[in-house]
A = this chain, B = another copy of it.
């Protein structure tokens, strides 16, 4: 079974094949493996990798098994090899150009964030509507008007956008993003966006994450 057929479609129009939960763990495995690789660790077993991340060994093996056979019995997995495989699966073995929509507080922080580049993402353009930032340069990028998005998308063959505008502006900005031909949005605005189902959407709501944390703390102390 090759990687290509193993993912997504099975030709019959049915959906999943690879559970969503597995894919999200893939990113965690990748992060940990890169960490190990930097510490000169050549191979790792499913049990050790699992222990490091809080999963069982069986789960680690089964997760990888969705995509092929990457391990060596008696040895484990070769870190560098597995890193390449996971990147290939995620599609991040090649760099993705990205446009940032919204250059306020959060947008500027994201622009300065080194972690994106490290994982194969390159912010190549920034747009906004606010005259306060239009034309200014941040991290070497001049902020363009959002109306130029279709052109920018075409020029850089963009497929994904990071949306980091205030909640009130999010729906409009999302509309413009969709019209520009982009098919993936990482949304930081605390608003539920409705996108056609051929467009991918990931929502990150910082306040929601804090709420989840609060609940967990609250609960452990029996509500006090």
Interchain nearest-CB distance for A186 vs B (Å): 5
Interchain nearest-CB distance for A91 vs B (Å): 3
Is B202 touching A115 in the complex (CB atoms < 8 A)? Answer: no
Alpha-carbon distance A52/B110, docked complex (angstroms): 29
Is A215 touching B89 in the complex (CB atoms < 8 A)? Answer: yes
A121 within 8 A of B: yes
Is B106 touching A215 in the complex (CB atoms < 8 A)? Answer: no
Of the candidate stretches A58-66, A75-83, A203-211, the one touching chain B is: A203-211
Alpha-carbon distance A167/B32, docked complex (angstroms): 12
Is B160 touching A115 in the complex (CB atoms < 8 A)? Answer: no
A4 within 8 A of B: yes
Of the candidate stretches A21-29, A40-48, A128-136, A145-153, the one touching chain B is: A21-29
Q: How many copies does the complex hold?
A: 2
Interchain nearest-CB distance for A128 vs B (Å): 15
Interchain nearest-CB distance for A221 vs B (Å): 8
A90 cross-chain contacts in B, Cβ below 8 A? 211, 214-215, 218
Within 8 A of B (CB), among A178-224: 183-186, 190-192, 198, 200-202, 204-223
Query: Could you show 18 A-B contacts with beta carbons less than 8 Å apart?
Result: A4-B223, A9-B222, A27-B211, A28-B192, A89-B215, A91-B223, A92-B211, A92-B214, A105-B113, A109-B110, A110-B206, A115-B190, A159-B217, A160-B213, A184-B216, A185-B213, A201-B213, A202-B212
